[in-house]
Amino acid sequence: MISRFFQNKSLAFFFFITYFLVSCGSNNSNQSVESTDQAENSENTQQEPPIATIKILPLGDSITQGGSGYASYRRDLWFLLKDSAYKVDFIGSQDDFHEGIADNLKDFDLDHEGHWGWETGQIEAKLSGWLDDYQPNIVLLHAGTNDFDRGQSNDTTILELSSIIDTLRKNNPSVVILLAKIIPMKNKDTRSINERIDFLAKRKNTKISPVVIVDQYKGYEPLNDNHDTYHPNVIGEGKIAKKWFDSLVPFLEK
């Protein structure tokens, strides 16, 4: 009797210990799974850092400003960028158009630094003051048309363009400069100045602050694409905008 009692007690104790160990193991396993699930859920709920808005400075003369009924390439470019879901902000001290445009064409980001009739040296002289109020990430630089038309030497224009690049880099050492070969005029071929602009871009280009040529000259037909001697019509504006857009894309994120 006593022996059987202890045998039964031992058997009961064995079952109790076994149940206890199994229960603890199951709880630890469940806690481990829950911890893993919580970690995975935490990772899934973490949001990626927001994409910063890229500040783009349209810089130049009347071809940048637009007017006389034409909104400039900036309008077409704005909608190309927005329709592609790029987060951008046009900047500049100006938001007007020479002799105005229709109100229904003012449906985009109007800020710019285009100045009707200005030569490259005038832009160079004012640039550092403008840059006190903003800092561009990317600059769209189309300048030299008035210099070329009025007979200024290409050497002087190139020196002034080089100085503009230097001033932009003082404001932002990593600024990206998209430098245009200027569009041709109805009465003058701008090939010679564009060859110099191409060489300037190669000389000033760096990894930290790229200077990238945008060939606005190639494929532009002033007899069909200008509404007067110098300025693009809606067809010309579309051509210019598309080339800017294609050159911008490698430097933008969605």
Per the prediction, the chain carries an average pLDDT of 88
Alpha-carbon span 106 to 40, nearest angstrom: 48
| Residue 45 in this model has a pLDDT that exceeds 60 | no
Alpha-carbon span 81 to 177, nearest angstrom: 18
Q: How does pLDDT run across 102-146, given as a tens digit for each residue?
A: 999 999 999 999 999 999 999 999 999 999 999 999 999 999 999
Question: What secondary structure letter does DSSP report for 76?
Answer: H
The least confident of 8-12, 85-89, 122-126, 165-169 is 8-12
242 Cβ neighbours under 8 A, 6+ residues apart = 76, 80
Rg (CA), the chain: 32
On whether the CB atoms of residues 214 and 181 are closer than 8 A, the answer is: yes
| Residue 155 in this model has a pLDDT that exceeds 60 | yes
Residue bearing tokens 């300037």: 200
| Residue 76 in this model has a pLDDT that exceeds 70 | yes
Q: Of all residues in the chain, what percent carry a pLDDT higher than 70?
A: 81
The closest of 210, 152, 169, 160 to 60, measured between CA atoms, is 160
Q: Whole-model pTM?
A: 0.82
Give the pLDDT score at 172. Answer: 98
Q: How does pLDDT run across 209-222, given as a tens digit for each residue?
A: 999 999 999 999 99
Give the pLDDT score at 215. Answer: 98
* Topology of the domain comprising 54-251: Rossmann fold (3.40.50)
